[in-house]
Amino acid sequence: MTTNTIRIYNTLSKNKEPFQTLQPGKVGMYLCGPTVYAEAHIGHMVGPVIFDTIKRFLAYCGFEVTWVVNITDVDDKLINRSREKGISMFQLATAMTADYLANLQSLGVDQIDHLPRATDNMDEIIKFVQELIALDFAYASGGDVYFDVLKDNEYGRLSNRSVDSQQGDGGDQASRKRSPGDFALWKSAKPDEPSWESPWGLGRPGWHIECSAMSRRILGKTFDIHGGGLDLVFPHHENELAQSRCCHGQPMVTYWLHNGLMQAADAKGKVGGKNDRDETQAELPATTASADAADSASTKISRSKGAGGLAQLIERHTGERIRFFLLRSHYRSTTLFGEEPLAEAGTSLEAFYRLIQRFERITGLKFYDATELPHNKHRSTFVAPATKNDAINEVVRLRESFLTKMDDDFNTGGATGDLFEIARSINRFIDAEQLEETAKRTPENTALFISGMSILKELGAILGIFIKPPKQSNNNDGTTEILDGLMQLLIQLRAEARVKRDFATSDSVRNGLTQIGIALQDGKEGTTWSINKD
């Protein structure tokens, strides 16, 4: 049932490795989720979309996947932000979690099995810290508990850092630490901060320990895949790894996956952004520096002030477009994000929508309906249509190509290329068989057409696209029916004018409709209309 062809790039080894699960046929997968102190921005969606796709693909390949995404709902940022807003940390976390989940849903991320919250796992977290102290990998100090990095001789392997090169001076709490690189497992609470009872007094967990504790609770001491943004490699994942491995004496994770970060492009499509530590830049003349600062104010998404507005962005572009945009490049590469790239992704997506409309028009079947157009859901159960038709056989070949690309470290960027070629092959088939004309349709060519579209649907489902109609028609008040009736009337009148070769009238109707955003297309079997977005 499992294919041995999947290869995954592992940050730990810096190599692509054959995918081998710990338990046959089962995959445990953990993705670091958000700290819910503010609205989600586009950057927070990269990981979920990628891992949602990975889960879909692995499930398609026959694996039973358990996917966990944690919610960090206690931390300094939450405390500070809730004070600013004058609400409790709990209220803030609840609201921001809801925002996050709504955005995930818009992007079609619906494969998550567990969404544990840190505050729901205090017992497990405290237990974990106690175990580390008992094993002498951690020590209590002034109400805090720290992990002793010098006790772990493998510390730094994931991020390729030497022990003495991290975390500089040790921060505010340096005096409580044995060495500057030690990180907090438990932080003592100031009087007015949210806190939990612990053996070390009132306090709250450090950032990293929750992931170790919750992943162990749900996925076990060792699991298959751990993911997150590239920015989490150090210190977060390095520390998580150290905690779990030292506590259990066995590897925490087989494959560490890290997605590239997203960058905002400015109106000209250029990217700015500078490393804050680059001191030579800081010494530039003030005029230059300030001008650059203004130009590149929004380059770094996670830190830019106006990073919110994800809901509006989805409203403007649709979740499917954003998802498709994210999947068009490789998950490990940095993605340039902006209105123009998104619009382009939308333009290219339209070609698929037109093909789907063409399919529905010709066959009378509903593409998105599972009963009317069923598709293969399992890699091993695919049956190629028996035919000598080149276009359809090309679709079958492209399906293989698509899956091979996915096998190679989830190369969704390459795979989407095959999707475009599949659409072209199917269109070529429609044209060659003249399926737009009722008289030319036979049970045979119609069946081949359907099988081709079924493959498109099968592969789309792996990427999490073409699952639902792109635009929801609001047929709540009957205006949709009225509009359609109106359009049919106009089309009828225009057809009569065209029969009389009164093109002045027919063009006037079409141009007038174009101006109000309705496009007419004359086909072999009559005229169709559609509303142009944007």
Partner RNA sequence: GGCUCCGUAGCCAAGUGGCUAAGGCAGCGGAUUGCAAAUCCGCCAUCGUGGGUUCAACUCCCACCGGAGCCUCCA
Q: How many residues bind RNA (CB under 7 A)?
A: 93
Q: Decide: helix, strand or coil at residue 184.
A: strand
Q: Decide: helix, strand or coil at residue 163.
A: helix
Residue 26 engages RNA in binding (rule: CB under 7 A) = no
Residue 177 engages RNA in binding (rule: CB under 7 A) = no
Residue 69 engages RNA in binding (rule: CB under 7 A) = no
410 neighbors 257 (Cβ within 8 angstroms)? no
For residue 154, the minimal CB distance to RNA (Å) is 16
Q: 183-188 and 144-147: which strand pairing?
A: antiparallel
Question: Which residues within the stretch 317-356 sit at the binding site for RNA (CB under 7 A)?
Answer: 328-330, 333-336, 341, 344, 347-348, 351, 354-355
> What gap in Å lies between CA 142 and CA 24, rounded to an integer?
46
Tell me which stretch binds RNA (CB under 7 A): 123-131, 167-175, 442-450, 482-490: 167-175
Residue 460 engages RNA in binding (rule: CB under 7 A) = no
> What gap in Å lies between CA 37 and CA 262, rounded to an integer?
20
Residue 223 engages RNA in binding (rule: CB under 7 A) = no
Q: 138-141 and 144-147: which strand pairing?
A: antiparallel
Binding residue for RNA (CB under 7 A) from 187, 216, 245, 323?
187
Residue with structure tokens 């269109």?
A: 427
Residue 323: Cβ within 10 Å count? 25
Residue 477 engages RNA in binding (rule: CB under 7 A) = no
The four Cα atoms 430, 433, 439, 444 give a dihedral, to 10 degrees, of -100
Helix orientation angle between 122-134 and 209-219, rounded to the nearest 10 degrees: 100
For residue 341, the minimal CB distance to RNA (Å) is 6
Q: Among residues 361, 306, 270, 339, which one has the least CA distance to residue 38?
A: 306
Residue 32 engages RNA in binding (rule: CB under 7 A) = yes
Q: Among residues 122, 232, 233, which one has the least CA distance to residue 186?
A: 122
- In the 8-state DSSP scheme, what is residue 231? G
Question: Which residues within the stretch 267-306 sit at the binding site for RNA (CB under 7 A)?
Answer: 269, 271-278, 299-303
Give the containing element (helix H, strand E) for 506: helix 503-515
Nearer to RNA, 64 or 507 (CB): 507
Residue 427 engages RNA in binding (rule: CB under 7 A) = yes
Residue 311 engages RNA in binding (rule: CB under 7 A) = no
Tell me which stretch binds RNA (CB under 7 A): 28-36, 125-133, 442-450, 474-482: 28-36
Question: Which residues within the stretch 480-519 sit at the binding site for RNA (CB under 7 A)?
Answer: 498, 503, 506-507, 510, 519
Binding residue for RNA (CB under 7 A) from 13, 23, 24, 76?
76
Residue 220 engages RNA in binding (rule: CB under 7 A) = no
Residue 46 engages RNA in binding (rule: CB under 7 A) = yes
Tell me which stretch binds RNA (CB under 7 A): 20-28, 153-161, 453-461, 465-473: 153-161
